[in-house]
């Protein structure tokens, strides 16, 4: 069947005009299809049916005929619209629409694409024309914008920034009779959403859906099937989709990575004769730092060798645009979403044993007390003597045979222990003196490690061991980061600082009130330093509430961020601090490398590897963007660990677990499984039949008859009532409580009385 002659090439090729409508005769007085398309295209405002009728002077029966004509045009693929929205030409963009930011280039120009696009052609890229000189949006942001066609391109004028993913949601599809429902993956989603269109998805599938309709009749329409939500490798996929993390590289970037990987290293300082070693986690996906030390007459010399990523990733290149769009690598138990293609991140840039690698070397000098007395930077070629797991390095230095067996070489050869590890430990002893003298914040909060088998099944979830080997590498990296910041300051060159400001007074007041519940005093008038919090932790000692106090102190801290203006690093008790040591996985470090190359004239130093003038001027905007992307990555990683923990515990539902109360509210208390983490709720409706008084100041629930008290930090046995791997949510109950199902509604006698000073008879309302 021939295509309608007025149908544009950009229209959908699979749309066929129904036969009955093909025979419909033109109505006298109605505008033609060409006239309607021309009006929609040229209109300065959104053009709906009302606007079209008014423009062509239609009324009465003509409006009914216009409605039929517009429906014909939509069926033919000439125009597109959603119910209640304006029409737009297929292949074009609505006058007002929701856009998703996909890129912010080196000049600060933001680019976006329509969030909904149904034409067969690729969606157009719209240039955002913002009121501010510098871009206030980041990749992944959603904006409501007014659009206009300009020449061969499109321009968008942002009207409002929207919540990320506010119209899209992830969930698991299930069916009850003829009705479909979507169970959201968010912990706070406690009600299923009716599904109007399941598409090709099957019950039990993990799907991406979009909300349709208006309150109170909101439904979901499935737009993408993602697979089985209970497959172990699905947990990270949920986070990737939920947070809009780019997990595919453009073909241009992949081709460029392959080409750059073949570059000759050029003239560099040759450090291949030194036994430089890389000490990393046994499951490390990349190796961007390695260390060496040697004792001198006055103290110690050390080298921190860092992958020279700036040599391969040039400003303004396709690789650079991809790296800036991501901001950092994102690490999940089952995969890594790298900032750079794997041909660079896992191969040519990764400092692997026995291979010549390009490095940016930080040469450091320390006195006997670990004070830094000098530094210099060079572009070098290194050949790593060994990649050693933390556990193996620690076992070797402790004289324990065997190690973890998880490193590249298993145990460390005795010759390498003497040539490389013992000098490193000797230098670290001096660095530890300097660290103790400045008294940085010392919060010993465990990090959870998920161990998977080859098929992705969970073998164990446990806290990572905290070894001296970890502290050693941290102190060497901190020293190199300080040296990088000072070296750039000395040249008055741009610095991307890692800024951590002191806690605000509001947070300190909240901490003071919190500590009262443990009978701990905290003076607000004092000058607060990291050592202030360390002394507070020392006063707590080994009490049950020690982890809880440390977690609250952590919440009191401000969030670290990247910026070109130095405000110091409170937590590390340092005046100047940058990030230099992880350019494979952090864009901030790549910026610092480029600035060092240019400021210190490091060879080979062409204009292609220096920090550009445009980036130097845009440091504030770049800092804001990569700070936002870092927070996105941290949230995605944390959520995924919670889902793995819930999946691991799903086989233990109904069993008793050792738990610790982490927070108390009027509706119940939250607890975490000791040694595993993962917060869950104990609803007040499961605490028995007596009244419970809620003391907001002390954060306690107290039984009126029994005197039973539930307070933060308290350890107790709880029954695991529910573990939901899809949302990562847990629910607990007392050992002898009757299970009332997930998130039970309160009924009958209200059982909580709030207390603010004197008791008030304010009781819970049923949910």
Does residue 556 sit in helix, strand or coil? helix
- Whether 96-162 shares its CATH topology with 653-759 is answered yes
CA distance 359 to 262: 16
Q: Confirm if 557 and 500 have CB atoms less than 8 A apart.
A: yes
Residues 6+ apart with CB under 8 A from 607: none
Report the sign of the C-alpha dihedral through residues 415, 419, 424, 425, in that order.
positive
168-229: CATH class: mainly beta
CATH topology for 19-89 is Arc Repressor Mutant, subunit A (1.10.10)
CATH of domain 653-759: 2.40.50.140
For residue 127, the model assigns a pLDDT of 87
Give residue limits of the domains in the chain.
19-89, 96-162, 168-229, 251-498+564-640, 502-557, 653-759
CA distance 44 to 41: 9
Q: Confirm if 640 and 654 have CB atoms less than 8 A apart.
A: no
| Token pair for 487 | 């070296």
Q: Confirm if 589 and 583 have CB atoms less than 8 A apart.
A: yes
8-state DSSP, 651:
G
For residue 637, the model assigns a pLDDT of 93
CA distance 172 to 727: 10
For residue 525, the model assigns a pLDDT of 86
Alpha helices by DSSP H, 573-658: 587-599, 613-617, 619-649
96-162: CATH class: mainly beta
Q: For residues 507-543, b (16+ Cβ closer than 10 Å) or e, as one string?
A: ebeebeebbebbebebeeeeebbbebbeebbeebeee
Q: Confirm if 351 and 289 have CB atoms less than 8 A apart.
A: yes
The label of the residue with tokens 């005795």 reads 414
Phi, psi of 356 (to 5 degrees): -70, 130
Query: CB under 8 Å, gap of 24 or more: what pairs does 143-146 form?
Result: 143/98, 143/99, 143/101, 143/112, 144/96, 144/97, 144/98, 144/99, 145/96, 145/97, 145/98, 145/99, 145/112, 146/95, 146/96
- Closest CA relative to residue 286, chosen from 221, 359, 358, 346: 346
| Token pair for 256 | 């460029």
| Token pair for 509 | 């007041």
Overall residue count recorded for the chain in this entry: 767
User: pLDDT below 50 — which residues of the chain?
Assistant: 1-25, 82-84, 90, 133-134, 165-166, 401-410, 740-767
| Token pair for 315 | 């400003």
Report the sign of the C-alpha dihedral through residues 749, 750, 755, 756, in that order.
negative
| Angle between helix 468-490 and 587-599 (nearest 10) | 40
Q: Confirm if 328 and 630 have CB atoms less than 8 A apart.
A: yes
pTM for the model stands at 0.74
Alpha helices by DSSP H, 153-310: 234-243, 251-260
């Amino acid at each position: 069947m021939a295509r309608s002659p007025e149908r544009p090439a950009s229209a959908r090729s699979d749309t066929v005009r129904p036969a009955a409508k093909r025979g419909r005769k033109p109505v006298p007085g109605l505008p033609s299809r060409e006239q309607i398309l021309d009006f929609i295209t040229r209109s300065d405002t959104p053009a709906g049916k009302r606007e079209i009728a008014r423009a062509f002077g239609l009324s009465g029966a003509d409006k009914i005929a216009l409605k039929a004509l517009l429906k014909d045009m939509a069926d033919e693929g000439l125009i597109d619209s959603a119910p209640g929205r304006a029409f737009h030409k297929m292949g074009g963009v609505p006058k007002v629409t929701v856009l998703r930011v996909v890129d912010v280039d080196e000049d600060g120009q933001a680019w976006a694409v329509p969030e909904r696009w149904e034409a067969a052609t690729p969606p157009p890229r719209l240039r955002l024309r913002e009121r501010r000189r510098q871009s206030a949006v980041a990749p992944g942001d959603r904006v409501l914008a007014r659009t206009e066609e300009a020449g061969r391109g499109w321009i968008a004028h942002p009207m409002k920034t929207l919540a990320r993913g506010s119209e899209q949601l992830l969930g698991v599809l299930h069916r009850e009779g003829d009705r479909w429902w979507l169970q959201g993956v968010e912990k706070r989603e406690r009600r299923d959403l009716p599904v109007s269109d399941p598409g090709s998805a099957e019950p039990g599938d993990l799907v991406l859906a979009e909300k349709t309709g208006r309150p109170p009749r909101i439904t979901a329409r499935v737009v993408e099937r993602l697979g089985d939500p209970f497959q172990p490798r699905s947990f990270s996929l949920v986070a990737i989709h939920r947070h809009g993390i780019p997990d595919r590289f453009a073909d241009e970037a992949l081709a460029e990575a392959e080409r750059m990987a073949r570059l000759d290293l050029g003239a560099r300082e040759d450090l291949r004769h030194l036994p430089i070693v890389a000490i990393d986690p046994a499951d490390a996906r990349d190796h961007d730092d390695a260390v060496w030390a040697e004792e001198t007459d006055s103290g110690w010399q050390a080298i921190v060798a860092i992958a020279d990523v700036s040599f391969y990733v040039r400003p303004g290149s396709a690789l650079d645009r991809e790296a800036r769009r991501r901001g950092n690598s994102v690490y999940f138990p089952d995969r890594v979403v790298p900032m750079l293609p794997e041909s660079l991140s896992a191969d040519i840039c990764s400092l692997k044993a026995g291979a010549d690698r390009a490095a940016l070397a930080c040469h450091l000098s320390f006195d006997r007390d670990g004070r830094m007395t000098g530094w210099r930077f060079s572009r070098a070629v290194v050949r790593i003597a060994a990649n050693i797991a933390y556990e193996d390095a620690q076992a070797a230095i402790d004289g324990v045979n065997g190690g973890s067996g998880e490193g590249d070489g298993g145990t460390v050869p005795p010759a390498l222990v003497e040539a490389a590890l013992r000098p490193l430990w000797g230098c670290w002893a001096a660095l530890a003196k300097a660290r103790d003298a400045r008294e940085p914040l010392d919060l010993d909060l465990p990090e959870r490690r998920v161990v998977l088998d080859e098929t992705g099944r969970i073998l164990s979830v446990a806290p990572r061991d905290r070894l001296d080997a970890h502290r050693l590498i941290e102190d060497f990296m901190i020293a190199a980061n300080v040296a990088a910041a000072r070296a750039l300051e000395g040249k008055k060159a741009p610095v991307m600082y890692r800024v951590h400001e002191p806690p605000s007074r509001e947070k300190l007041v909240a901490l003071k009130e919190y500590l009262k519940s443990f009978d701990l005093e905290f003076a607000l008038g004092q000058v607060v330093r990291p050592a202030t919090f360390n002394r507070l932790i020392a006063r707590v000692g080994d009490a049950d509430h020690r982890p809880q106090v440390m977690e609250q102190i952590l919440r009191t801290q401000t969030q670290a961020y990247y910026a070109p203006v130095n405000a110091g690093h409170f937590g590390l008790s340092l005046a100047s601090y940058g990030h230099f040591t992880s350019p494979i996985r952090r864009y901030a470090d790549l910026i610092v490398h480029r600035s060092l190359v240019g400021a210190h004239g490091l060879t080979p130093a062409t204009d292609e590897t220096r920090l550009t003038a445009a980036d130097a001027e845009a440091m504030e905007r770049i800092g804001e963007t990569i700070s936002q992307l870092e927070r996105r990555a941290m949230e995605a990683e944390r959520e995924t660990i919670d889902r793995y923990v819930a999946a691991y515990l799903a086989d233990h539902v109904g069993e008793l677990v050792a738990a610790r109360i982490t927070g108390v509210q009027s509706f119940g208390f939250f607890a975490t499984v000791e040694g595993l983490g993962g917060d869950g709720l104990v609803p007040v409706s499961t605490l028995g039949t007596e009244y419970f008084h809620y003391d907001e100041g002390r954060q306690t629930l107290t039984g009126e008859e029994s005197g039973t008290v539930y307070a933060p930090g308290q350890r107790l046995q709880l029954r695991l009532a529910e573990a939901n791997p899809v949302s990562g949510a847990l629910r607990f109950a007392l050992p002898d409580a009757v299970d009332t199902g997930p998130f039970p509604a309160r009924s009958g006698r209200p059982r909580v009385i709030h207390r603010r000073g004197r008791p008030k008879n304010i009781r819970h309302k049923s949910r």
